[in-house]
Amino acid sequence: MTFGKRIKELRESKGLFLREVGAALELDNAFISKVENEERLLPRKHLEKLAEFLSVPIDELLVLWLSDKMIELLQNEPLAEQALKMTQKRLKQEVRKTN
């Protein structure tokens, strides 16, 4: 599932209008529509407020947002899969260092 699809699903399940989500985030309705339709990615600074407004854990939204962000960055890269594998390995090493 993508971030935009999940936001739309949550909004509709709560009977909310685009304008209500837009008002809560102080963003234009058209922008929220583009986020839901996967034409734009919501700026990260709005995730916490959105999670609170939709009554969902921030982690749920953040995982989807990060996934979409990585796809946006790597979608046309021939070496994307190799880069992701290396990144995963490096992240595991960093976690070990901090523990």
pLDDT tens, residue by residue, 36-84: 999 999 999 999 999 999 999 999 999 999 999 999 999 999 999 999 9
Counting Cβ atoms within 10 Å, is residue 86 exposed (0-12), middle (13-18) or buried (19+)? exposed
pLDDT of residue 13: 98
Q: Would you place residue 32 in the very low, low, confident or very high pLDDT band (cuts 50, 70, 90)?
A: very high
Contact of 42 with 65, CB cutoff 8 Å: yes
Report how far residue 71's alpha carbon sits from residue 54's, in angstroms, rounded to the nearest whole number.
24
pTM above 0.75, yes or no: yes
